[in-house]
Chains A and B, each alone.
Chain A
């Protein structure tokens, strides 16, 4: 049985790294050109990390890795890293993150500032 969920399940992990709601962030797969919100992507989550994939062509788009018990992680491409002693390199609210996995395709993750509404 695959541990396939969707981007909603990855939301907690992503929100630990980024200070805002990520499931509405749009991602465009450079493998097939489909644009989706992260909530609609396919997410494979288990102890090694979370792989978020294009729901159409299943190319991986990013990875948030969390060490159990420590609630830290990073996104591949090392644009953001928040593990233990490192500070996340989020100097501004606008983040453009290019996540490349050389063998399997690329994602461009552009995130607009969407501050959390009062009351979640």
Chain B
């Protein structure tokens, strides 16, 4: 049945895969051209829908990794979950030239634009880095001077998504600090944090509360709740802390 579309309503549209790029052993970035893409803000996500030949459908949400400056190219970074239904398809089956059904951009709450200023505190758990890298890429494209700190939690050095790019961003922009914590395994000689985030780590890494940072926390639900609660305990204003929970498994 044909559905009338009111302005502003989300509709499903087809993007075409133009590149796929492994990021880590478990994650892959997929870049699509979406012909009717209206643009987006860093932090927004899309809903992706897969349809099998018998009509069966599965739907998931994925944060947009690419900055608004790259529209109509839209990049998603997907972590493959062993028991997932959609992520194995996206990371292992989807090929250049395939079409992918998506709707978006979605979300007006968890967004950052350069004009919103800072200082900016970004806290990422695993694949929670994805919407935050969109913010960092946008920051760089906008001239990259907003004072920013990223605390990035990963299982191991090899699991750090966008690791080289983060190093480059630190080198090539000003006022950006990136702190990693590796929670399960560390390379020889590692002198950084090697535990899950906690109030003590946030106290050492975060801006002080009197600097009133804008804070964005993204990752699995328990990670987000720990980080947010810790920051509030440290005196940060809850109204300036925005969170995006990816659920128990880390898949958005």
Contacts and interface: CB of A to CB of B under 8 A. Distances in A.
Interface stretch (B163-171, B190-198, B206-214, B242-250): B242-250
Nearest to B104: A12
A40 B47 contact: no
Contacts of A7: 109
A69 B57 contact: yes
Contact of B68 (A3, A19, A23, A119): A119
B246 A5 contact: yes
Interface stretch (B5-13, B85-93, B142-150): B5-13
Contacts of B244: 6, 8
Contacts, number: 93
Interface string B1-33: 100001111101000000000000000000000
A39 B242 contact: yes
Most buried by B among A8, A16, A40, A84: A8
Given A20-B8, A68-B57, A84-B1, A39 B246 contact: no
Interface in B101-151: 103-110
A116 B44 CA distance: 14
Contact-residue size bin, chain B (C-beta under 8 Å from the other chain): 35 or more
B59 A68 contact: yes
Given A1-B249, A5-B246, 8 more contacts: A2-B221, A11-B106, A12-B47, A24-B109, A39-B109, A69-B51, A118-B38, A120-B39
B45 interface: yes
B107 A23 contact: yes
Nearest to A42: B245
A8 B45 contact: yes
A6 B245 contact: yes
Nearest to B131: A8
A7 B39 CA distance: 21
Interface in A63-100: 68-69, 71, 84
A38 interface: yes
B75 interface: no
A58 interface: no
Contacts of A115: 8
B116 to A, nearest CB: 14
B40 A119 contact: yes
A4 B247 contact: yes
Given A6-B244, A40-B243, A119 B38 contact: yes
